[in-house]
Chains A and B, each alone.
Chain A
Amino acid sequence: MDDVLKSLRTPRGMAWLFGVTLVLALALALVMAHSRWFFERYVREKYPTPSSTAVEMVVRIRMGNPGPRIEERLKAHCADAYSAWMTADRTDGDEPLARAIVASDPALIATLLEKTFAAGSQAQKLRAARLAHLGAREELVPVLEWARARAEATRNAELTGAIRAALAARAAHSVGGG
């Protein structure tokens, strides 16, 4: 042991010390590279708790009782409604809700979708794609094209499919005069 410690004072010993450290670092790097699933568990977007007004409006839309000028009223609570959509644990009434949210402020929704596609988990991205699918607005197309390119680059077949479906729905909506 003493010989090993003494050898650390020589250039060869120091080279050995640096080399062993580098090999250990390489081993750790290999473990990290093969543990992407572990890192992906911590990638998710956090949403603020939606206001009670927004929650109430969302519930009423889901129940098919939105009331007059819902899109106009929802516009002031659009970000909250998006949070409510993203954190919802139910899917009944998704279609009218998605249409109302997207129609209330398409530009803001496009911005929020962009953030989710960049920072969200797989489930959140799929939920965002569903919103775009059901909302089917022209303003969302650039974001969807961008998100599709990213999904294709990362070989994320499920997300690519969901975004393609959203784009196709928008195209069909256009042809249908929407």
Chain B
Amino acid sequence: MTSGPSTIERKDPARRAFSALLRAFLLIDLRGQHYGASTGAGAADRVPALFWVFGQYLTISCLLSAAMFARVDVWFFAFASLSTSIVLVMSALIVELDEAILDPGDRDIIAHRPVSPRTYAAARLTNLLAYVAMMSAALTVFPTVVGAGLADAGPLFAPAYFVAAIVASVSAAGATVLLHTLGARLEGLRAGLAWVQIILIMVIFYGGQLMLRNADGSFELFAAKPPEWTRWLPSGLLASWVAGAASAPAKRHALSALASVGVASAIAAAAFWRLGIAYRDLHGGIARGAGVEAEPARAGTLAGRLASALTASRAEAAGFALAARMLRRDTDLRMRILPSLGPAAAAIALAIGTRQAENPFHASGTLIVLPLAVIPLLAGAAPSALFALRTSRSHEAAWLLRAAPLANRGLFAKGARKAVLAYVFAPFTVIVAAVLAVVWRRPLDAALFAAAAWATLVAAASLSSRASLGDLPLSSPAARGAMSGSIALVSSVVTGVASAAAGALFLASGDATRMLAATGVICFAGLVASWIGARRG
């Protein structure tokens, strides 16, 4: 008996390339170490790191379903679950599995092989859909089944939600691919997108906690009467369809389902088309991010007036200038730093959204807790942001820094730290102050509050600089998942210590004079702590 050609050999070359590429991509995903640092799974472990992420997604959807079960109606249950799915799918694709969409490194391995852009795009998209299917399964199983047990859910809830979840996940993945491929020309869009998703995640996280802990039923009321604009969000529209189909199914619901599937298919098709174009660019050697155009040198000082004003030595100015330039140039660096502001931004958004943003200079009680929480959350963000500044897309060029005649690397790191404070935290603090000034209608109170927050933040950055930033910024490669590793402990400690400042303001709240005194003490303590940190560093 002679053996004939194997299945893969009988296929035409394009299909063969597709099968081989897809198998390789799936294996890389399943055995990849992107999540190694955050899950603690090593390359030699039998259970892959991705499995623990799968478990995390199951846990998130389980907890969310449990938190909402018997408390909210079908619409809000579907809306919150679908929103979470969309945010997490986009978050995973953008932040953690960037390479799953289009890896510039693929060019080195397959560019010389006869793989057409269409074949590459098809394999990448199928790989992406398999990954999205895995995540969606983890995010869908609990809401689909638990939601069917809601008092106002009809027998069609489970199938309706299942279809809506598939539509949401495929659309989210397709939209992410589209944005990512456009991101080559619109770099800033990626950072903005990371902002939106992080804020949403934090709002969901804090919202869930408040829903369970608050004593007056505000969140249940919010869920029962959500703002009208939420109904016009993609997840809101899908939830309306799920709620309608689950309670009183009609022909129009079937038509809506078909329309939703059509939209999702169109987005996926557009993503496929863009991916093919992006790969063709990649194939042609126009690797995205591979080359960075040198900016023309400016006459005058190395770092400009701001650096001169904020730094006290040439080493500091050099650190400031390099960090400032990398913050402008390196999108990945920005995407790692900006999310650290998410908790503070979420606290402000939640405070305003739930009308818990009272002015502590004139009010006290639980309604000032969220605004005050900004202080420790912002301070806790400093170690994370500085830790992210250790990494850089151009980390291999760090030998230049190592070889540079720097008498004191600590001063260089200090300059880099000041750049992060000046370009990331200062604008954010000003925005917080402006928002609170509008909400409180008392600009002076908002300015004093922002001063206390800034003093705490600067002290936190100064004291944690050695542990978080080290003495040679921008010299390490980015390790995926590392942001939730060792630095999380430092951030937690800093947040805990900074909570004392918020606690002091809480105790002084309700009386403008006491608040003024407390703000002064915090600013003074911040200055002293910064001075101690500077001497240690």
Seen from chain A, the residues whose Cβ lies within 8 Å of a Cβ on chain B are 5-6, 8-9, 11, 14, 17-18, 21-22, 25-26, 28-30, 32-34, 36, 39-40, 43, 45-46, 48, 114-120, 150, 153-156
> Is the beta-carbon distance between A25 and B141 smaller than 8 angstroms?
yes
| Chain B residues positioned under 8 Å from A9 (CB to CB) | 31, 46
> Is the beta-carbon distance between B47 and A17 smaller than 8 angstroms?
yes
| Chain B residues positioned under 8 Å from A8 (CB to CB) | 46-47
> Is the beta-carbon distance between A11 and B151 smaller than 8 angstroms?
no
User: A153 CA to B221 CA in the complex, in Å?
Assistant: 16
Tell whether B273 is near chain A: CB-to-CB under 8 Å.
no
Select B152's contact among A28, A116, A155, beta carbons within 8 Å: A155
Select A115's contact among B148, B149, B216, beta carbons within 8 Å: B216
CB-CB contacts of B58-83 with A at 8 A, as 1s and 0s?
A: 10001001100111010000000000
A-B contacts besides A21-B55, A32-B69, A153-B152, 8 pairs, CB < 8 Å: A14-B48, A18-B54, A22-B137, A33-B148, A39-B71, A46-B216, A115-B220, A150-B73
Tell whether B145 is near chain A: CB-to-CB under 8 Å.
yes
25 A–B contacts from the bound complex (CB under 8 Å):
A6-B46, A11-B30, A14-B30, A26-B145, A32-B65, A32-B145, A34-B149, A36-B70, A36-B149, A39-B71, A43-B70, A43-B71, A45-B216, A46-B216, A115-B220, A115-B221, A117-B224, A118-B217, A118-B221, A118-B225, A119-B71, A119-B219, A153-B151, A154-B151, A155-B151
User: A155 CA to B74 CA in the complex, in Å?
Assistant: 13
Closest A residue to B221 by beta carbon equals A118
List B residues 305-357 near A (Cβ within 8 Å). Answer: none
Query: A11-B27, A119-B217 are contacts. A29–B151 as well, Cβ < 8 Å?
Result: no
Closest A residue to B68 by beta carbon equals A39
Select B142's contact among A18, A25, A39, A48, beta carbons within 8 Å: A25
Looking at chain B's contact residues, is the secondary structure mostly helix, strand, loop, or mixed? helix
> Is the beta-carbon distance between A18 and B65 smaller than 8 angstroms?
no
Closest A residue to B149 by beta carbon equals A33
User: A116 CA to B225 CA in the complex, in Å?
Assistant: 13
Give the one of A18, A39, A43, A118 with max B CB within 10 A. Answer: A118
Select A40's contact among B58, B65, B70, beta carbons within 8 Å: B70
List B residues 347-385 near A (Cβ within 8 Å). Answer: none
| Chain B residues positioned under 8 Å from A118 (CB to CB) | 217, 220-221, 223-225
- Count residues on chain B whose CB falls below 8 Å from chain A CBs: 44
| Chain A residues positioned under 8 Å from B225 (CB to CB) | 114, 118
> Is the beta-carbon distance between B217 and A45 smaller than 8 angstroms?
yes
List B residues 112-153 near A (Cβ within 8 Å). Answer: 134, 137-138, 141-142, 144-152
> Is the beta-carbon distance between A150 and B224 smaller than 8 angstroms?
yes
> Is the beta-carbon distance between B69 and A18 smaller than 8 angstroms?
no
| Chain A residues positioned under 8 Å from B65 (CB to CB) | 29, 32
| Chain A residues positioned under 8 Å from B54 (CB to CB) | 18, 21
Closest Cβ of chain B to A70, distance in Å, is 26
| Chain A residues positioned under 8 Å from B134 (CB to CB) | 18
Tell whether B247 is near chain A: CB-to-CB under 8 Å.
yes
Tell whether B428 is near chain A: CB-to-CB under 8 Å.
no
Sorted nearest first, the 3 A-B pairs with minimum C-beta distance are: A119-B217, A33-B149, A119-B220
> Is the beta-carbon distance between A28 and B27 smaller than 8 angstroms?
no
User: A34 CA to B148 CA in the complex, in Å?
Assistant: 9
Tell whether B195 is near chain A: CB-to-CB under 8 Å.
no
| Chain B residues positioned under 8 Å from A34 (CB to CB) | 149
Closest Cβ of chain A to B44, distance in Å, is 10
User: A163 CA to B65 CA in the complex, in Å?
Assistant: 29
Closest Cβ of chain A to B395, distance in Å, is 31
Query: A26-B141, A29-B146, A153-B73 are contacts. A39–B58 as well, Cβ < 8 Å?
Result: no
User: A30 CA to B46 CA in the complex, in Å?
Assistant: 30
Closest B residue to A24 by beta carbon equals B58
| Chain A residues positioned under 8 Å from B27 (CB to CB) | 11
Select B217's contact among A33, A115, A153, A154, beta carbons within 8 Å: A115
Closest Cβ of chain A to B75, distance in Å, is 10
CB-CB contacts of B265-308 with A at 8 A, as 1s and 0s?
A: 00000000000000000000000000000000000000000000
Closest Cβ of chain B to A140, distance in Å, is 16
Closest Cβ of chain B to A154, distance in Å, is 4
Closest Cβ of chain B to A142, distance in Å, is 12
User: A65 CA to B69 CA in the complex, in Å?
Assistant: 45
Closest Cβ of chain B to A150, distance in Å, is 7
> Is the beta-carbon distance between B221 and A154 smaller than 8 angstroms?
no
Give the one of B69, B217, B219, B225 with max A CB within 10 A. Answer: B217
Tell whether B497 is near chain A: CB-to-CB under 8 Å.
no
> Is the beta-carbon distance between B26 and A11 smaller than 8 angstroms?
yes
Tell whether B51 is near chain A: CB-to-CB under 8 Å.
yes
| Chain A residues positioned under 8 Å from B148 (CB to CB) | 33
User: A6 CA to B216 CA in the complex, in Å?
Assistant: 53
User: A32 CA to B69 CA in the complex, in Å?
Assistant: 9
> Is the beta-carbon distance between B220 and A39 smaller than 8 angstroms?
no
Give the one of B73, B151, B247 with max A CB within 10 A. Answer: B151
Closest Cβ of chain A to B336, distance in Å, is 29
User: A150 CA to B142 CA in the complex, in Å?
Assistant: 24
User: A25 CA to B65 CA in the complex, in Å?
Assistant: 12
User: A101 CA to B444 CA in the complex, in Å?
Assistant: 40
> Is the beta-carbon distance between A32 and B221 smaller than 8 angstroms?
no
Closest Cβ of chain A to B290, distance in Å, is 31
Closest A residue to B247 by beta carbon equals A153
Tell whether B215 is near chain A: CB-to-CB under 8 Å.
yes
Closest Cβ of chain A to B287, distance in Å, is 30
User: A6 CA to B217 CA in the complex, in Å?
Assistant: 51
Closest Cβ of chain B to A59, distance in Å, is 25
Select A18's contact among B51, B62, B150, beta carbons within 8 Å: B51
| Chain A residues positioned under 8 Å from B47 (CB to CB) | 8, 17
Closest Cβ of chain A to B505, distance in Å, is 23
> Is the beta-carbon distance between A156 and B151 smaller than 8 angstroms?
yes
Closest A residue to B26 by beta carbon equals A11
Closest Cβ of chain A to B43, distance in Å, is 11
| Chain A residues positioned under 8 Å from B141 (CB to CB) | 22, 25-26, 29
Query: A21-B55, A32-B149, A36-B69 are contacts. A116–B48 as well, Cβ < 8 Å?
Result: no
| Chain B residues positioned under 8 Å from A116 (CB to CB) | 217
| Chain B residues positioned under 8 Å from A21 (CB to CB) | 51, 54-55, 58
